[in-house]
Structure 1
Amino acid sequence: MPLHFLSLAGGRITNRIPATRRPILGAIAIAASALAMSAPSTAQTSEALPGNSVESLLEYARARNPEFASMRHEADAANERAASAGALPDPKLRIELQDITKMNEQGPTLSPSRVGKTRYQLMQDLPWFGKRGLQREIAQWEAEGAKGRASGSWAELSTRIKAGYAQLYYVQHSETLTREILDLMVRIEKIAQVRYAGGLTAQSDAIRAQVEQTDMRNELIALENERRMTEARLNMLLSRPANAPLAPPERLRPLPPPVRLDYAALEDRVRGRNPQLYADDAKLRAAEKNRELSYKNRYPDFTVGIAPMQSGGSVKEWELMVEFNIPIQQSTRRAQEHEAEAMLAAARARKEATANQVLSELSENLSGLDAARRTETTISSSLLPQAELTYKSALASYENGKVEFATLLDAQRQIRQAKQNQIKAQAEAQARLAEIERILGEEL
Structure 2
Amino acid sequence: MAFGAPGIAVSSEPVPGSSVESLLEFARTNNPEYAAMRHEADAASERILPAGALPDPRLRVELQDITMGGQQSPTLSPNKVGSTKYTLMQELPWFGKRDLKREIAALELEGAKGRAAGTWSELSARIKSGYAQSYYLYQNERLTNEILDLMTRLEKIAQVRYAGGLTAQQDVIRAQVEQTNLRNELIALENEQRMNRSLLNMLLARPATAPLAEPEQLRPLPAPVRLDPAALADRVRGRNPQLFAEDARLRAAEKNRELTYKNRYPDFAVGVAPMQFGNSIKEWELMVELNIPLQQSTRRSQEREAEAMLSAAHSRKEAVANQVLAELTENLSGLDAARRTEMTIANSLLPQAELTFKSALASYENGKVDFATLLDAQRQIRQAKQNQIKAQAEGQARLAEIERLLGEEL
The alignment's TM-score, normalised by the length of structure 1, stands at 0.90
2:296 is aligned to 330
SS of residue matched to 1:87? coil
Q: Relative to 1, partners in 2 of residues 1:45 and 1:194: Cα closer, same or farther, differing over 3 Å?
A: farther
Amino acid at match of 1:195: R
- How far apart in 1 are the matches of 2:136 and 2:249? 41
1:225 is aligned to 191
1:429 is aligned to 395
SS of residue matched to 1:122? strand
Residues 1:440 and 2:406 are matched in the alignment = yes
Residues 1:127 and 2:93 are matched in the alignment = yes
Residues 1:162 and 2:128 are matched in the alignment = yes
Residues 1:174 and 2:143 are matched in the alignment = no
Amino acid at match of 2:180: T
1:246 is aligned to 212
SS of residue matched to 1:443? coil
1:268 is aligned to 234
1:203 to 169, 173, 179: 169
C-alpha contact 1:93 1:123 (8 A) present in aligned 2: yes
Residues 1:194 and 2:160 are matched in the alignment = yes
Map 1:74-113; keep pairs closer than 5 Å.
74-113=40-79
1:5 is aligned to none
SS of residue matched to 1:113? helix
Identical-residue share of aligned pairs (%) = 78
- How far apart in 2 are the matches of 1:374 and 1:257? 13
1:416 to 365, 371, 382: 382
- How far apart in 2 are the matches of 1:97 and 1:438? 67
Aligned residues: 405
Which deviations, in whole Å up to 9, do the C-alpha atoms of 1:132-185 show, x marking residues without a partner? 111111111011001000000000000000000000000011000000000000
Which deviations, in whole Å up to 9, do the C-alpha atoms of 1:329-377 show, x marking residues without a partner? 1111110000000000000000000000000000000000000000001
C-alpha contact 1:120 1:307 (8 A) present in aligned 2: yes
C-alpha displacement of 1:83: 2.5
2:7 is aligned to none
Q: Relative to 1, partners in 2 of residues 1:136 and 1:387: Cα closer, same or farther, differing over 3 Å?
A: same
2:338 is aligned to 372
C-alpha displacement of 1:328: 1.1
SS of residue matched to 1:245? coil
Amino acid at match of 2:50: S
Q: Relative to 1, partners in 2 of residues 1:45 and 1:94: Cα closer, same or farther, differing over 3 Å?
A: closer
- How far apart in 1 are the matches of 2:12 and 2:253? 52
Residues 1:56 and 2:12 are matched in the alignment = no
- How far apart in 1 are the matches of 2:185 and 2:124? 30
- How far apart in 2 are the matches of 1:315 and 1:104? 23
SS of residue matched to 2:47? helix
- How far apart in 1 are the matches of 2:208 and 2:382? 32
- How far apart in 2 are the matches of 1:414 and 1:379? 12
Q: Relative to 1, partners in 2 of residues 1:125 and 1:52: Cα closer, same or farther, differing over 3 Å?
A: same
Q: Which runs of 5+ in 2 are unaligned?
A: 5-9
C-alpha displacement of 1:38: 7.4
Structure 1 segments (4+ residues) deviating >2 Å: 37-40, 44-47
1:394 to 341, 344, 360: 360
- How far apart in 2 are the matches of 1:38 and 1:364? 48
SS of residue matched to 2:219? coil
1:27 is aligned to none
SS of residue matched to 2:79? coil
- How far apart in 2 are the matches of 1:81 and 1:160? 32
Q: Relative to 1, partners in 2 of residues 1:47 and 1:372: Cα closer, same or farther, differing over 3 Å?
A: farther
C-alpha displacement of 1:47: 7.7
1:152 is aligned to 118
C-alpha displacement of 1:45: 7.8
Residues 1:294 and 2:260 are matched in the alignment = yes
- How far apart in 1 are the matches of 2:137 and 2:269? 71
- How far apart in 1 are the matches of 2:298 and 2:15? 62
1:383 to 335, 349, 357: 349
SS of residue matched to 1:438? helix
SS of residue matched to 1:322? strand
C-alpha displacement of 1:39: 3.9
1:21 is aligned to none
SS of residue matched to 1:48? coil
Amino acid at match of 1:291: R
| Larger gyration radius, structure 1 or structure 2 | 1
C-alpha contact 1:46 1:247 (8 A) present in aligned 2: no
Residues 1:315 and 2:281 are matched in the alignment = yes
2:102 is aligned to 136
C-alpha contact 1:47 1:247 (8 A) present in aligned 2: no
RMSD: 1.2
C-alpha displacement of 1:106: 1.0
Q: Which runs of 5+ in 1 are unaligned?
A: 1-36
- How far apart in 1 are the matches of 2:73 and 2:310? 64
- How far apart in 2 are the matches of 1:84 and 1:188? 79
Amino acid at match of 2:394: E
